[in-house]
Amino acid sequence: MSNASNRREGHLFPRRLDPQLPVAVKADGVWIEDQDGNRYLDASGGAIVVNAGHGRKEIAQAVYDQILAYDYIHPTMFTTPAAEGLADALVAHAPEGIDRFYFLSGGAEAVEAAIKLARQIHLANSRPEKFRLISRWKSYHGLTLGALSAMGRAAFQTPYAPMLAQAVHIPPPYCLRCSYGLTFPDCRLRCALALEETILNMGPETVSAFLAETVSGGTLAACPPPPGYFEVAQDLRYLRCPPDSGRGALRHGAHRSLVCLPAR
């Protein structure tokens, strides 16, 4: 897959120290080609982000046209047809009840904003005691400090543990290696009920939000929860999740996490 002639010398800080990475020079559809003409099947679209395939001319054209019309315009000073139009288009794909969109530049930044927005809502409602975040083991939410706090992979967190905010983790909906040693459907969604149990143990009055991937991503492959998982979360009297949360419609966009706020 790689050879010594591919060693990249230069000034780029590498993501990995050990391997000599091939140099990708072009990509088309599901194929990536390196400088030696080797082709690689990009089966996952990178980190599940090139969902439309590489080299789509109509996408390149739309980006070109947009940048010629206007590129970055500060959103505290102007709104734009591009931003308004994208928000309008997303409504059709979002679960019912989600009809406002806030655009950020990546997943971790969106997670940070969601955690902070939940807290802001509680402060606006004069509930400063609500600060606790619940997330799930084996989850991936990004690598910035707030997102890393929510992430459910200890190996990613350990080096930065003293710098992280506290989040309480519950078992993931991962039937292949069920944390309770149970089998669906006889388990009666024990993993979903752990959410209520945790809220009660922590004190519902202290909970700020529950953060979960609708379909798990980076650290648990594309593992969907068992049927009914999000319905159980929706039915908890302590939480307010968007209706139809389990549909995962937002996964088809750039990023795809769900935030549920306490109902009281």
Ligand X SMILES: Cc1ncc(COP(=O)(O)O)c(C=O)c1O
In the complex, which residues of this chain contact ligand X (CB under 6 A)? 47, 106-108, 111, 140-142, 213, 217-218, 255-257
Q: How far is the CB of 144 from ligand X (least distance, A)?
A: 7
Neighbours of 42 (CB within 10 A): 17
Q: Enumerate long-range contacts of 169-172, CB under 8 Å, 24 or more apart.
A: 169/134, 169/135, 169/136, 169/137, 169/139, 170/134, 170/135, 170/136, 170/137, 170/194, 170/195, 170/198, 171/136, 171/137, 172/136, 172/137, 172/138, 172/139, 172/216, 172/220
Nearer to ligand X, 108 or 115 (CB): 108
Q: How far is the CB of 48 from ligand X (least distance, A)?
A: 7
H-only helix segments in 28-141: 45-48, 57-69, 81-91, 107-124
3 state SS of 205: helix
Nearer to ligand X, 113 or 187 (CB): 113
Q: How far is the CB of 247 from ligand X (least distance, A)?
A: 15
Pairing of strands 207-213, 132-136: parallel
Cβ-based neighbours of 112, under 8 Å, separated by 6 or more: 142, 144, 146, 147
Residue nearest to ligand X (CB): 107
Nearer to ligand X, 20 or 137 (CB): 137
Place of tokens 């999000």: 230
Q: How far is the CB of 248 from ligand X (least distance, A)?
A: 10
Nearer to ligand X, 141 or 190 (CB): 141
Q: How far is the CB of 152 from ligand X (least distance, A)?
A: 11
Q: Count how many Cα atoms sit within 13 Å of the Cα of residue 120 in the half-sphere of its side chain.
A: 6
Nearer to ligand X, 149 or 257 (CB): 257
Q: How far is the CB of 136 from ligand X (least distance, A)?
A: 11
Q: How far is the CB of 203 from ligand X (least distance, A)?
A: 27
Nearer to ligand X, 136 or 190 (CB): 136
Cβ-based neighbours of 217, under 8 Å, separated by 6 or more: 47, 48, 140, 256
Nearer to ligand X, 47 or 123 (CB): 47
Both tokens assigned to 139: 């989850």
Q: Count how many Cα atoms sit within 13 Å of the Cα of residue 263 in the half-sphere of its side chain.
A: 12
